[in-house]
Chains A and B, each alone.
Chain A
Amino acid sequence: MNHPDELTELLRRAGAGDRAALDRAFPVVYEELRRIAHYHLSAEATGHTLSTTSLVHEAYLRLVNNSRANWRDRSHFVAIAATAMRRILVDHARRNRAAKRGGAQTPMPLDMADLAHPDRAELLIALDDALTTLATLDERQARVVECRFFGGLTEEETAVALGIGLRTAKRDWAKARSWLYRQIYSSQAS
């Protein structure tokens, strides 16, 4: 699927709750994000720290026909990209850890040592687990966290992206953070 309008249309339908449209849009967004991330990493070995927001932004520009899409489409896109970003980040964090633990032949690249904070990777993995658990208990709360934390959306954007009220978005965010905090830190303490 290369046609920008097609994705725009899928985004619109996904935004309206069409699960099949979401399932078709997700891999496109995921692949694009990964590709861009990879591109930036290979082309610019200058220690340039791109943020996920700019990756998402770039993916959006590439995938969506900007002149046809509107603000709402962008929110749907970012909501999907948030999920994709979560997967990319967590996959990498896990791979890193696996490399570190079992990795006799592949220690961390030396010039990256100060950039990649191992605790962060650890936290990311813990968060992912806790979020997966939370999704089985309250999917909406988990989606709010994806949008806000992984997608970098504001409360208002999250509300629009998920089609919920602003108050709900705020309350879900507060509650979900408490659940995740409890889940992650109490288990670490034990």
Chain B
Amino acid sequence: MAAGDDHLLPDRDDRAPSPDLFRRADALFDAALDLPTVDRIPFIERKCATDAELLEVVHDLLEAHDRAAAFLETPAAVIGLPLLTSASAGSPSRAGPFRVVRQIGVGGMGAVFLGERDDGQFEQRVALKFVRVGEAQLVRRFLAERRILASLEHASIARLVDGGLTDSGLPYFAMEYVEGEPVTVYCDRRQLPVEDRLRLFVDVCAAVEFAHRKRVVHCDLKPGNILVTQDGAVKLLDFGIARLLQVDTDDASVMGTQLMTPEYASPELLRGEAPTEATDQYALGTLLYELLTGRHPFRVSGVPRQPVDLRGMRQSPVAPSVLVARPGLCRDLDAIVLRAMASDPTSRYGGVSDLAADIRRHLNHRPGAAGLHARATNRGRYVAGIAAAGALMVLSLGTMARSGSAVPALVTVASVRAVEVAAAEAAMALPELLSTRLAAVPGLEVVSRARMMELVGEGHGELEAARLARAGSMLQGELFAHAAGGYRLELHRIDVASGRIMATHVLEGAEPDRLAYEAAAAVARALDLPEPPAREAARHVVAASALYEAGLQAYYRDADRRAAYRLFVAALAEDTTYAAAAFLAGRAATEIFPDSVFRYLQLAERLAVSLADRDRLLIAAHAAAVFDDPRALAVAETLSVRYPQDASAAFQYGAALLARGDFAAAGVALRRALALDPLPSGRGRSACIPCDAYSSLIRMYVLVDSFPAALTLARDAAKLQPGSTAAWQQLADILDVLELHDEAAGARRRLVELRPGEALRDVDEARTQLRRGNFTAADRILVAAAGSVDRSVAAAALWLQVVSFRQQGRLADAARAAERYDLVQMDVAGRSAPLRSLLKVSVYLDAAQPRRAVQLLDSTFRTLPDHGRVSRNARDQAWLLTLKGDALAAAGDTTPLPALADSIRALGALSAYGRDPRLHHHVRGLLHSARGDFARAEAEFRAATYSVIGGYTRTNHALARSLVQQGRAAEAIPLLQATLRAPLDGPALYLTRTEVHAALAHAFDATGQPDSAAVHHAHVVHAWRESDAALQNRWLDARRRLAEALRRH
């Protein structure tokens, strides 16, 4: 800390209270804050009657409290970086007659500033360059540039205006300030036709030609150094590493080679040879290529001074007209470009003037001028032909890799080691940057960084980790830092199976992100894969991370999932390789679009290009699970096979098996997930694999009717996650089923503690009462809750009211409650409509009004969105049709049932949730039952059963009935008992508990167990004591049987 600055501070401690005073003031302030605002001042005045000092402090605090409402509310997050960025220093504020206005760019030699003349003589804006003193070479280069510029007076070259030393002794010079944009940007923004591009290019050639006549080689020709002004004038800038032929010393040339931009550097320059006019010509050829096609021919970085194998780095590029089709782009131009870019300098034009002359000729004789310059054309055709063949080969390989006939290559980035301290930061960043870039290569899959770090963290060596991650190749790099700035990356591609280095790519660059891009491109090329899409650097990236950042705020701080989703998707639009944004967009989407299956799956598929393999599979598996997409199981299985050590993968697989109904296998997978990641987090929220695994395992045991096993796990889970409402809820529900009421009450008390003020608490309490058959108590709570202004509370209460009234046989009341539920939920989007009609249909069926039920089902069916093969909608349709089957069977109309079963079968097959693909068996069972073929009915009902607890309870009931009909009532009893253990307001809604009790009583009577029957008759008598007329006879019958049983005692 800057302790030495303390004397500069104003004395602020004058008002700091003594610890004792603070303690007393704090306590009084605290007590005052508990009071209504108006009572606070009188309160403290009363308390401080004899202590004026205390009164003043607390008075101040209360006043501050009122004023400080917004104070510090905006976290430092918003203020942070601007403060950090202002820390650097060192640029002068003026130079000679010029005032420094602002920085306008960074050149190879340092920053460039905008300067304004303010000596009152005349108005002039200039570009100012300074040089860092103390670096002799830099100063020498700087002076050389000044000398060169002074010799170049040309309309298309930025003029030297002034030069000298600043007051503090820094050398500077001022150049003509050019307001313009890079030539490529200029052309693209105006969408100039080929002809206009060629004219501009000829102007560029003229400037370069002029410099060459003055024996100056520019050495760094690239779009950023060639600006075009508003009125279309070309200006050549930055002779910072230009070389005065035959004058400069060797050190300068070496330096120039180091500083140049490799993408425009000629092969001979990359080999370390001295620059010549032909070097500039090569760069111009590259520029022309870019102007004509919109793309850089190679996108590669080269390396000077190193004995590097340059094969593959500088072959002939694909001919422009082969790469893109564009009016005016013809073979003639291909020939010109490829000649200027010939690898061998002696094969290029004799000079830039010849190049320009050929273009001028082309412009004059367009389009049929080919024959007029036979030499270039013939040669060019030949080259273009070869290039075209090469392009086709590359394309076909790329297509193969993409089309799935070949499995995408899986690579992993192990590490990048910093060889020098100066490279340490960049080396840390590179593996992630590189992974992201590689993931964007079509046909390439990348092991996620998290996965790799996980494996290495478990103590595996990098190669072993790569092997465990199933990668075929592993990338390992070394990073060197240049003294003059910039890095050199040596990246080895290692075959994981043999451990041998298959290739080494050497790349240079100033920015790690750029370097990562180049490296990814080099790897892709070496594997004969297409290069990753180049993202337009700065602007997009900056915009994307700003959007991502805003998305994070919305997601985590404001919990506004919709806003977050929009922001993440916007970030993705800016930068399609933004894996983190893609991941969070996916997560937010699952939370806010429970019905928009399409959107989510599309998103998940789009992620294929931007995410690492494991992450992509995880998201796809999650998405498929959320939407009951049948692909869920396949995706999850792939995930678990590819990443056998991954807890998330094991969990997803287990969850998919559980949904499908393969309970035994699900148990194995879920236990495996727990073994890999055994410790749940306390809150049970956010992504917690062990929390989810526990919950799913418990559910699995419930579904197979193993409540004791479920209880043991649920107790463990609640103990491990004392803060998780979900865990306590699950435990309480299981305890209820097992009728362990005291412990259940304890669990519910814990729930109340965890969510004080939770609006749905009363509804929960009503549910408990209902399960125990305390209808009066439940109804009292529900009547109050149904009037709540909180719509979700009112809806939940009304839903439960329908359940309660149906159990009591008060069907008119149930119908009224269903109507009210309808009203409350009317304008709720999504799946509300089928749910609402489901509620009413159930009441109609209870009231023996099957025709009315059919009518409502038909009209609801017509309102369903027809999204074709979307699993959610298909499920809704399948369920409505199944209910219709029940209604038709109840009405004695069996003719439509076979066709209905076929429709249900087709719809149910679109769901991954095990209940749905089995539904058609239920309707077939109904058909056989109606025909009196109970054996075949039994077989169909059994085929329809997904889980006795978590299935369609009407199936249980019908199965029990078919068993009783076949004289096997004893087998029906355990089935019906299990049905009573099913949850109350979910699937059990289809059939009321009272009906199940009635069926049980009937089955016990049939097996000659009147005592057991009496217990269930008693339930019916109790429940239906106020039932509607429609049920009166059944109630009287139950009462008679109960009386008989009691008489026998």
Show the binding face of A for B, using Cβ within 8 Å: 3-5, 35, 37-55, 57, 62, 65-68, 70-72, 85-99, 101, 103, 105-113, 115-117, 120-121, 124-127, 129-130, 133, 136-138, 145, 148-152, 154, 160, 171, 174-175, 177-187, 190
Contacts and interface: CB of A to CB of B under 8 A. Distances in A.
Contact of B681 (A71, A112, A126, A152): A71
Contacts of B5: 94, 97-98
A35 B80 CA distance: 15
B60 to A, nearest CB: 5
Contacts of A120: 79, 82-83
Nearest to B454: A67
Given A43-B511, A88-B84, A149-B76, A178 B89 contact: no
B174 to A, nearest CB: 16
Interface in B63-84: 63-65, 67-68, 71-72, 75-84
A106 B425 CA distance: 27
B109 to A, nearest CB: 15
Contact of B19 (A55, A107, A137): A137
A103 B89 contact: yes
29 contacts: A39-B426, A40-B81, A41-B81, A50-B80, A51-B80, A55-B81, A65-B453, A67-B647, A70-B681, A71-B683, A71-B685, A89-B76, A96-B83, A96-B87, A106-B89, A109-B91, A115-B86, A120-B82, A121-B83, A133-B12, A137-B26, A138-B22, A149-B76, A151-B75, A154-B557, A175-B30, A177-B65, A177-B68, A187-B14
User: Would you list the 4 A-B pairs with minimal beta carbon distance, nearest first?
Assistant: A116-B86, A70-B681, A106-B89, A52-B80
B2 A43 contact: no
A187 B12 contact: yes
Nearest to A123: B79
A2 B551 CA distance: 30
Contact of B101 (A4, A35, A109, A110): A110
B80 A149 contact: no
B450 interface: yes
Nearest to A177: B68
A145 B73 CA distance: 10
B113 interface: yes
Contact of A46 (B75, B78, B542, B648): B542
A14 B60 CA distance: 36
B552 to A, nearest CB: 7
Contacts of A87: 1
Contact of B8 (A4, A101, A127): A101
Contact of A52 (B8, B76, B450): B76
Nearest to B93: A107
Interface of B: 1-2, 5, 8-17, 19, 22-23, 26, 29-30, 33, 60-65, 67-68, 71-72, 75-91, 93, 100-103, 106, 113, 168, 425-426, 428-429, 450, 453-454, 457, 511-513, 538, 542, 545-546, 549, 552-553, 557, 647-648, 677, 679-683, 685-686, 688
Contacts of B79: 89, 120, 124
Contacts of A127: 72
A190 B15 CA distance: 11
A137 B17 contact: yes
Contact of A183 (B15, B29, B81, B557): B15
Dominant SS at the A interface? helix
B604 to A, nearest CB: 21
Contacts of B101: 110
A61 to B, nearest CB: 8
Contact of A152 (B86, B557, B680): B557
B683 A72 contact: yes
Nearest to B542: A48
Contacts of A62: 428
Contact of A45 (B30, B76, B106): B106
A87, A112, A127, most chain B CB atoms within 10 A: A112
Contact of A178 (B65, B76, B100): B65
Contacts of A43: 426, 429, 511-513
A127 B15 CA distance: 14
Nearest to B4: A98
A159 to B, nearest CB: 11
A185 B60 CA distance: 11
A177 B65 CA distance: 7
A186 B17 CA distance: 13
A112 B1 contact: no
Given A148-B75, A175-B30, 20 more contacts: A39-B425, A39-B426, A41-B88, A46-B542, A49-B546, A50-B549, A52-B81, A55-B81, A65-B454, A67-B648, A72-B681, A90-B1, A116-B86, A152-B75, A175-B65, A181-B67, A182-B15, A182-B63, A187-B14, A187-B15
Nearest to B78: A51
B69 to A, nearest CB: 9
Contact of B457 (A35, A50, A54, A65): A65
B64, B450, B677, most chain A CB atoms within 10 A: B64
A101 B954 CA distance: 84
Given A54-B549, A181-B68, A85 B80 contact: yes
B64 A182 contact: yes
Contacts of A125: 9
B435 to A, nearest CB: 13
B72 A89 contact: no
A86 B11 CA distance: 21
A68 B678 CA distance: 10
A136 B648 CA distance: 46
B128 to A, nearest CB: 11
A179 B545 CA distance: 36
A171 B30 contact: yes
Nearest to A39: B425
Contacts of A106: 89-90
Contact of A111 (B87, B103, B683): B103
A116 B686 contact: no
A120 B85 CA distance: 13
A174 B65 contact: yes
Nearest to B679: A70
A112 B81 CA distance: 11
A86 to B, nearest CB: 8
B453 A4 contact: yes
B542 A109 contact: no
A182 B195 CA distance: 71
A39 B325 CA distance: 42
Nearest to B34: A171
Contacts of B81: 37, 40-41, 49-52, 55
B515 to A, nearest CB: 10
A181 to B, nearest CB: 4
A63 to B, nearest CB: 11
Given A39-B429, A53-B552, A187-B15, A171 B80 contact: no
Nearest to B691: A70
Contact of B77 (A41, A51, A111, A145): A51
A26 to B, nearest CB: 14
A46, A94, A110, A180, most chain B CB atoms within 10 A: A110
A44 B75 contact: no
B9, B77, B100, B683, most chain A CB atoms within 10 A: B77
B544 to A, nearest CB: 11
Contacts of B68: 177-178, 180-181
A16 B90 CA distance: 46
Contacts of A66: 450
B33 A175 contact: yes
